[in-house]
Amino acid sequence: MRCLRWVMSLPNPDDYTRVAILIVVLLGTLACDSTSPTTSDTLSCGHRVDPSIVILGENVVLSETGTVQPPQGRPIQQGWTLGRSTEPITDHNEREYARIASYMMPIRDVLICDPDKTSLTLWQTLTAILRINNIKIVQDLSGTPRDQVYSNDGIYEHLTNNGPDENAMLKYLEEAELELKCLAFTNFDFTNPEGENHCVIHGLAQGSGLLIP
How many CB atoms neighbour CB 213 within 10 A?
A: 13
pTM: 0.80
Question: Quick one: which H or E segment has residue 28?
Answer: none
pLDDT digits (tens, 9 = 90+) for 4-38: 433 333 334 333 334 434 433 333 334 333 333 33
The reply to whether 3 falls in a domain is: no
The reply to whether 75 falls in a domain is: yes
What domain count does the chain have? 1
The reply to whether 190 falls in a domain is: no
pLDDT digits (tens, 9 = 90+) for 54-92: 999 999 999 999 999 999 999 999 999 999 998 999 999
The reply to whether 126 falls in a domain is: yes
The reply to whether 39 falls in a domain is: yes
The reply to whether 61 falls in a domain is: yes
Determine contact, residues 108/88, Cβ cutoff 8 Å: no
The reply to whether 11 falls in a domain is: no
Domain span at residue 150 reads 21-183
The reply to whether 26 falls in a domain is: yes
